[in-house]
Chains A and B, each alone.
Chain A
């Protein structure tokens, strides 16, 4: 659905992005991650026809972003980090304007606006002037304008910024529900959000793609040890000493001590020592409260890929 090939954009002599290449399949939700200034916004702006690239190629729904930009524009819904709102218009009038400019046929327009207002929870404020809305509601109006024409492709830049926890959960559920029907690129700094909603992740750093895979595969790729969490009821120092002596264990660290002791154990890759750990704890007569493998979190993957020199 989206194909980006060797996309490069220079601002003067400075390359904002260089040779960026990735694909997004139809109906997929792709997490687009990177530190500030990595080139995420530039890539998204090129894909949404906000600005041209210096070189490279990008297609959306089979249409070239540069040669057939009018076709691409009709098929994309874009929520930038700061939603582009007209503060003097009411929510209804603004969405009507967006629906018209996106080419929603007159006979379908009212239903399209009613539907999107229901989906993002704007029923109570639809006749209010946008200027008078809270930040959370403004963010929802921004989301509504991206969805109102039921686009094939949605590009969302920090869609949950400014929302309260309940609204964040609602918006995440909404984004998840878009999978299958819409192709979504989601850019956010909230990495658990990506783990929860995205099937695949592209990480960009200093203008270049440094990783592209599923969150699980990325974790597997970057991990240098197997990691196991063990919670034990017993004397902390003694437990730590015994766990360290299990063959294959490289490091044992105490995570917290709250009556019980939680240990994070790093062991050699591709060696399953869970049975040995369990036996060690039980044979000493200590209580084994929990024992489970830990994945490398997306935060760790992100940090390892974007901070290494």
Chain B
């Protein structure tokens, strides 16, 4: 692997993202909504340094669960399919670079741009909270940022995987939206239904819920905020009792496995299909 080729494609992806209207739109929406939620979180108590980061972190979790997977999935989905549609993927794969370098460069480039977009939102909110509400519970806010970045990369990986199969960007985005709906809404309902129908025990429910990267993120984010998971009921308590402080590592590992496995499968598809 030639690292210069990887960095070159990463750089090209970052340049592309700067002018990509979806990217710009997502960055603005995320920044505005996180600022608005932070502002609301500070209302009434911010002036007395009582709110800090804890309350805002809680309200940001739902925003992140909705928007970040949407960003990761759709930006990933547009990526390879869009280039395939324009013929530039075929072109890129015919240059003196390997398919691995192309894919890694694209993942790192879009990933870096996505993380930068999220950090703009988190940075603005963090600045507002620090200014108005003090530095209380900043640790939970930083943990939230960490888990969010992992979630973003995991969903980006899944988006790229969808993209590797599709010939048109539109179809890839459609598939990404379907998957987003599935993760966000039907994931919970499916888990509840399966639990009742198959009479799953608490351990099985925990492991099945961890398969959904959004659920894994939610567990991690709530744990970092409250240090215990009674808010998630028996499953949360079971998770805390079984894994304790190791749960954060387990959740990070789950999201890491999503990132790694989706990248490996995407690479296999690209190798088989090429740029066509």
Contacts and interface: CB of A to CB of B under 8 A. Distances in A.
Which of A82, A86, A89, A101 gathers most chain B CB within 10 Å?
Answer: A101
Given A88-B15, A88-B16, A89-B16, A101 B90 contact: no
B91 A84 contact: yes
A80 B87 contact: yes
A86 B8 contact: no
A10 interface: no
Interface size, A (range): 20 to 34
A259 B8 CA distance: 68
A97 interface: yes
B8 A101 contact: yes
A103 B95 CA distance: 10
Contacts of A86: 12, 16, 88
Interface in A68-118: 70, 73-74, 78, 80, 82, 84-89, 93, 97, 100-103
Contacts of B233: none
Contacts of B95: 73, 101-102
Contacts of A286: none
B19 A129 contact: yes
B269 interface: no
A101 B5 contact: yes
Nearest to A74: B96
A97 B5 CA distance: 10
B256 to A, nearest CB: 30
Contacts of A129: 19
B116 interface: no
Contact of B96 (A85, A89, A101): A101
B96 A51 contact: no
A48 interface: yes
Interface string B1-39: 000010011001001101110000000000000000000
A110 B30 CA distance: 39
Contacts of B274: 50-51
A78 B93 CA distance: 13
Interface in A190-222: none
B90 A50 contact: yes
Nearest to A75: B96
A161 interface: no
A49 interface: yes
Contacts of A89: 12, 15-16, 19
A102 B90 contact: no
A50 B93 contact: yes
Contacts of A102: 95-96
Contacts of B18: 88
A116 to B, nearest CB: 17
B86 interface: yes
B231 interface: no
Contact of B276 (A51, A80, A82, A103): A51
Contact of B94 (A50, A85, A103): A50
A78 B86 CA distance: 16
Interface string A13-52: 0000000000000000000000000000000000011110
A155 B230 CA distance: 66
B96 A97 contact: no
Nearest to A103: B96
B119 to A, nearest CB: 22
B249 interface: no
Contacts of B5: 101
B97 interface: yes
Interface string B263-276: 00000000000111
A129 B16 CA distance: 11
Nearest to B16: A88
B217 to A, nearest CB: 31
B16 A78 contact: no
A203 B12 CA distance: 39
Contacts of B275: 50
A78 B12 CA distance: 20
Nearest to B4: A100
A73 B87 CA distance: 17
A11 B15 CA distance: 36
B276 A97 contact: no
B160 to A, nearest CB: 18
A39 to B, nearest CB: 16
B86 A84 contact: yes
B113 to A, nearest CB: 12
A49 B94 contact: yes
A135 to B, nearest CB: 15
Contacts of B90: 50, 84
B78 to A, nearest CB: 12
A266 B239 CA distance: 95
A86 B86 CA distance: 9
Top 5 closest pairs, chain A to chain B, by CB? A84-B91, A88-B19, A73-B96, A84-B88, A50-B94
Interface of A: 48-51, 70, 73-74, 78, 80, 82, 84-89, 93, 97, 100-103, 129
Given A49-B94, A73-B94, A88-B18, 9 more contacts: A50-B94, A50-B275, A51-B274, A73-B96, A80-B87, A85-B86, A86-B16, A86-B88, A102-B96
